[in-house]
Structure formats: C-alpha cells, structure tokens
Amino acid sequence: MGEGTGDTGEILRRVGGDTPLLEVRHVIKRFGSFAANDDVSLKVMPGEIHALLGENGAGKSTLVKIIYGSLQPNAGEILWKGKPVTVASPAEARALGVGMVFQHFSLFEAMTVVENIALALPNCKATRELADTIARVSANYGLPLDPNAHIADLSVGERQRVEIVRCLLQNPELIIMDEPTSVLTPQEADQLFVTLRRLAEEGCAILYISHRLEEVRALCHHATIMRRAKVVAEADPARETVNTLAQLMVGNEIIRVIRDKGRLGPEAILLKGLTQISQEAFGVSLQDVNLSVRSGEIVAIAGIAGNGQKELFDALSGEEPLEKEDMVIFAGEAAGLMDINQRRLLGAAFVPEERLGHGAVPALKLSENVVLTRHGTGEGIARRGFTRFGKAGRIVEKVTSLFDVRKGVLDPEARSLSGGNLQKFVVGREVERTPKILIIAQPTWGVDAGAAAVIRQSLIDLSRKGAAILVISQDLDEIFEIADRIAVISRGHLSKAEDADTLTPEKVGLLMAGGAEKKGAAAA
Ligand SMILES: Nc1ncnc2c1ncn2[C@@H]1O[C@H](COP(=O)(O)OP(=O)(O)OP(=O)(O)O)[C@@H](O)[C@H]1O
C-alpha cells in the first residue's frame, strides 16, 4: 500500500477543513436527447486525491469538463469552498484555482514549450525567465523538459509533461487529471505519484481519472464510481481489490486474456538495417534497426516515450519514405518506398498512438473514417468511382458490436466519442479487416479494464489466425500479457527481440530506464 493511502478523516485534520473544496450537486448534461451526466453529485475535500472511475463513456470527462467550465450543465449546481459558482469558461475555472491536465492534448504543435505555457498564463510572455522557471519546476517535479523544444518534435509522454507543468505553474487548489499515467513508464508514473502526494500534503486536491486500478488503490483517498451517466458507488480504494473496483465500474466480471501458443508461419515483417536520420530538431534517428516478425506471433517493442517509437511507426506506415526500399519488407515485398495505401494493399494495417487527428479525423463521421482508411485497398469500399457508404456503415455497426463501442447516435463524428470508445473503434476498424500484418501503437491507451481485455484478446486471436503483429507499447503489464517476444527501443536502437517467457518486467524496465539515463547524459 502506498504511503499516501490513509483515511479521509486524517487528511481533513491535516489540512484543517470540513467544507468541501468542490461540491457538484445533481448535475445533468445532455447532448441532444442523450444524457452523458444524469443527476451526478460529488464532493472533493482539500488535500484529497479523489478518483473518478467508470467504464468508457460513463461520463467522467463530461463531468470534469463541466467543473473546468468548458461545458455548461443543463441542470445542477457547483459549489466552490461552500459557495455556489457558475463556471462559464476555463479561464473562470483557472481564476477560481482549478487546473486541468487533458486526456487529449491541447498544445499548439508549431510552437515551443515555453510559448505554449506563456499562452495559458495571464499576461505572460515567453521570456527567458519563464523558460528558466519551466526548466526548474519541471526538474523539481521529476518531469524534465526542454523549454525551447517544439511541441511537434515531442513524444506523447513529453507533451503530457508540458500539460502537467503548465498546470502546476498556475498554482491550482484543485488539479483535474484525465488519465495522467497512461503514457508514462512505471518509473515516470512513480515519480508523478510522489509529486501528487506532495501536492496533496500541501492542501491541493486532485481529481484523478484513471483506468489503472492498482495505481488508484495505491494513490487515491476516495473514489466516486460512475456507470452509464450516473454515480453508482463511492469507495475507499485502499479497502477494495482491483477486481471489486472493476466490478463496481462495469457491473460484471472482466474477461481473462488467454494466450495460447500460436503456430508460426513465414516471416511477414522484416526490418533490415532500418536507418533513418531524423530531420526534426529534437527527433530521434533510427539506427540500424533489425527485426523479424513471423505470421502467428506478436512482438512487442517496449520503451520510454521519445526513444524513437514515433519515428519507427512513421517508417513502418509509410508516413516517412525511407532511403532504401528493402529496409522494410512486408510479406516478402520491399515496401520502404511505398506510401501507406500501397502498404495496406500488401495486407498491412496501422493503428497510431494518437487516435484523434491521426487515427481518426475528428470532424468526420465514423463511416467516413472507415472510407478514408479503406479507400483504395481493394476491399470494396470504392467501386467504379463510387464510394459505398452503406458498406462503410455496416462496418461501423460490426465494429461497434464486436468492440462494444458506446455512442449516442448510430454514426457520430469521431470527436464526439469518449476517448476509450474512440480507441476501441480505431483498433476494431483495423482488426476487422483481418490484416496479415498489424502495426499498432499503445493499443489500450485510455481504455477501461474490461475493454482492454477485449482488445488484447482480439490481438492474440488475430495473430493466431496468422497475422504478424508488432505492438509498440509502454505498458509492461500489457506487453507481458500478449507478447510472444519483446524488444526494447532506446535512443533509436532496438535490442534483440527475446522470448517473453525468458524475461521479467523488471529486466525490461531496466533496459528501458538504462536507455533513458544515457539519453539524459547525452543531453546534459
Ligand atoms: N459533444 C458530444 N456530443 C455528443 N455526445 C457526446 C459528446 N461528448 C460526449 N458525448 C457522449 O457522452 C458519453 C460520455 O462521454 P465521456 O467522454 O464523458 O465518457 P468518459 O467516462 O470520460 O469515457 P472514457 O473513459 O472513454 O474517456 C459518451 O457516450 C459520449 O459519446
């Protein structure tokens, strides 16, 4: 049990208050006729780390957006330090003392870290002084950042650090965190917990959304659990087990992922001396990457964010053309100079880590997103110059039912899905094609425990049907649950893929961390 675990009474005595810092009373939020929050009430005490739990689409993000002023409720009340308030905008929320770290990043890609942070602070310019403050605060909280780096050159994990540091610089009394650890390594997450416990001891409250129930048990003092837009339970996470918490969330048992041995077929993915010098100022160059994945197996690439995962995905998906065509061979064909559609024609499918924007176009309907990825792949979506939207709609229905994608209307815009439901849709859309080759980054990022098990099982089943699957993931639990072999990427170098049964999470974690130390030393 973590050192921050204790009962709420003790926290109250420590920070000396009995009025909730935040109270939400009977909030209702509708989108059209669909209620995303239905009579939701919640209290957060000063200095309390309060978990907000619930399956994908339960209404957690909607609720925190209301608290942060980016959505307005249809009914209900918000009290701040006992007084009713109207939070008309995020600026008003920040003025009250509410900060937020988003699940979907809200940073401007073409700007630097310091420029982005300056934008969020009232009357602030991107000065050298601010850059120094960012460097100091980020180092102090164990979230190292280069203030002058461009956001576009940062990995997802590093972008999240920017969001967290930006929030800390606003001196908030309540920080809302929407799945902050989903892109962090175990070591980074541990460091974040130290930070959060320190903030809580100083009296800052944290409203913490996470699907990682083990960390909720270790970190959080109290939990409010939502299901289908309503609050269904409250709990002291330390007194629950991961299973009882999961059952409160989803209302039934979680499936167990079963990994039997697959029958190996021919080599389907071959990387031969894959070298790609990054043109980005803070990019990572891929250095002589060699790997082979056979039909029927799952190979996972573990690594700390920012060690070449993005560059490797881009090289495999055709986003970045390579120097030589035989650096990437798919199903026996040299694919290094092909674009993404030509690679799809060889039977390959791709799921990038950024599902909104990269994996799906936010303003397009789900069926239109299906058309985009299948147009020109010879799967019958386009015929004689006509697009068959009816067929795309049927694919949406099938994926929705197989992967339990929860949505308010039949064919919504991608951006209206909850984060986890969009992830289920993007993964399901590609798995449904039964590709021969699947390259997938962070398959269960932001997905609840039940859905994560469904996605992981679907990957195992796909590989056992003969697909070669390359998973890029930071989640060691996930890697050990599904991978047959594991390699570690560090500063653009890939280690030899070893049999998962001969490795332990500690050993892989050390390989990952060793790379990070070298990276830090090189940067220093
Ligand atoms: N702008 C919108 N228009 C229509 N429906 C929406 C909109 N925003 C959210 N919803 C719907 O409201 C429901 C709740 O979504 P919300 O994002 O609050 O869930 P969540 O609990 O945060 O899920 P996750 O864990 O997947 O992030 C979902 O079914 C979602 O499709």
Q: Which pLDDT score is estimated for 450?
A: 82
Distances (CA, A) of 396 to 55, 93, 369, 429: 21, 37, 9, 8
Give the end-to-end CA distance of the chain in Å, rounded to a whole number: 36
- pLDDT digit string, tens, across residues 198-229: 889 989 999 999 888 888 999 999 999 999 89
327 lines ligand 1 (CB under 6 A): no
Q: Which residue has a Cα nearest atom 24 of ligand 1?
A: 56
Q: How many Å lie between the centroid of ligand 1 and the Cα of residue 424?
A: 13
User: Contact at 8 Å (CB) between 301 and 489?
Assistant: yes
Max Cα–Cα distance, the chain, nearest Å: 72
**Chain centroid, CA 187 distance in Å:** 17
The stretches in the chain having pLDDT less than 70 are 1-17, 103-105, 156, 183, 185-187, 253, 281-282, 376-380, 382, 384-385, 513-524
Q: Which residue has a Cα nearest atom 19 of ligand 1?
A: 57
Strand partners, 43: 23
Distances (CA, A) of 187 to 168, 217, 238, 471: 20, 17, 21, 21
420 lines ligand 1 (CB under 6 A): yes
State the DSSP code for 262.
Answer: P
Q: Which pLDDT score is estimated for 522?
A: 34
CA-wise closest residue to 298 among 489, 40, 482: 482
Q: How many Å lie between the centroid of ligand 1 and the Cα of residue 378?
A: 34
Nearest atom in ligand 1 to 448's CA: 25
Q: Which pLDDT score is estimated for 104?
A: 59
36 lines ligand 1 (CB under 6 A): yes
Domains and CATH numbers, the chain: 8-97+172-250 (3.40.50.300), 267-347+435-523 (3.40.50.300)
Q: Which pLDDT score is estimated for 39?
A: 97
What is the interface pTM, i.e. ipTM, of the complex? Answer: 0.97
Q: Which pLDDT score is estimated for 502?
A: 95
The Cα–Cα gap between 435 and 447 comes to 22
Q: Which residue has a Cα nearest atom 2 of ligand 1?
A: 416
Q: Which pLDDT score is estimated for 79?
A: 98
The Cα–Cα gap between 30 and 15 comes to 36
